[in-house]
Amino acid sequence: MFERFTETFIDTEDATIFVRHGGDGPPVLLLHGHPRTSATWHRVAPLLVERGFTVVCPDLRGYGRSRGPAPTADHAAHCKRAVAADMVQVMRALGHDRFQLAGHDRGSYVALRLALDHPDAVTRAAFLDGIPLTEHLNRAGATFATRWWHWFFFAQPEIPERVINADPDRWYRGDPRSMGRENHDEWRAATRDPDVVRAMLEDYRAGLTVDARHEEADRAAGARVRCPALILWSLRDDLEELYGDPVAIWRPWADDVRGHGIDSGHHMAEEAPEPLAVSLAAFFTA
C-alpha cells in the first residue's frame, strides 16, 4: 500500500498523529471514517497523486496508530473541534497552510468542523456519506434509531467497551478481498486494541453531546461553510433513502454546494476508488 508515500508521526498540541503523505502539487487532506484507518484510502490516494496532487492521509485522533489524551467526562478530548485542530497542525507541519479536503463518514464531521473553525485554511471541502450531526439527530425517528442503533449503544458508558473487546473480530467484520489484505490487516490490528476501541466510542459520545452543541451554536450564529462544497453519497447505502437529497440538506450549511451519488456500498474509497477519485479530482481542480 501507499507506494512512494512517506509515513511519519506528527505531534500536535495534545496528540500524536500517524500520517501518510505523498505526491507533488496542491495539497489534499483525506479523512477516514469509523472504524477505518488512513489505510482505507490506499486505492484512492495514488490515483489523486497521479492526477497531480499532494495527498495527506492521517489516522484521526485515537484511531489506528494515532494517540490523543485520555477520555474526559464531557468527551471534549475527542470532539471534532479538537480533531480538526490536530489536522490543521498536521498540515502546517507538512508545509501546507491552505488545503482542500475530503472526509468520509465520521471524517465528514471533522471536515465540517475544519471548514467552520478554520475557513482561512480550507479552500474546498468534500463531504462523503455524511450530513451534519444535528441534521441526523433532528430527523431521528424509529427507522433511523433501528438502522443506526449503534450511535446510541456506543454512547452508553462502559458497556460497549466490554461487549466489543470480548470479541472484536466478531463485532468488526471486514472482508480482506474487498478491503485489500494490507488495509484489512491494519484495520484488524487497530480494532483489537482496547485503547483504539475506547477512542472510537468517545468519538460517538462526543458526537451526541459536545459536537452537537457546537453545531447548534454555529447555526444560531449563522455560521456557514464559505468554501465550495461537494457532497457525495453511496447509492447502495441508506443516506438518501433515509433523508432524501443530501445536497438539499447541505444547502443551509454552505454557500456553494453541488454533489451526486456514487455507485458503491458505504466504504466507497475501497469499493469504488476510480469513480471517487475522478469526482474528487474534478472538484479540486474546478
Instruction: Supply the residues annotated as catalytic.
Output: 105, 266
Using CA atoms, how far apart are residues 87 and 76, in angstroms rounded to an integer?
A: 16
The CA-CA-CA angle for residues 278, 283, 286, to 5°, reads 120
Q: Are 269 and 43 in contact (CB under 8 A)?
A: yes
Using CA atoms, how far apart are residues 82 and 70, in angstroms rounded to an integer?
A: 13
Please list the residues that pair with 122 across neighbouring strands: 99
Question: Considering Cα of 165, then 171, then 150, then 126, what sign does the dihedral take?
Answer: positive
Q: Are 10 and 17 in contact (CB under 8 A)?
A: yes
Please list the residues that pair with 21 across neighbouring strands: 6, 56
Q: Are 257 and 264 in contact (CB under 8 A)?
A: no
Find where cell 451534519 sits.
132
Burial 118-133 (b: 16+ CB within 10 A, else e): beebbbbbbbbbbbbb
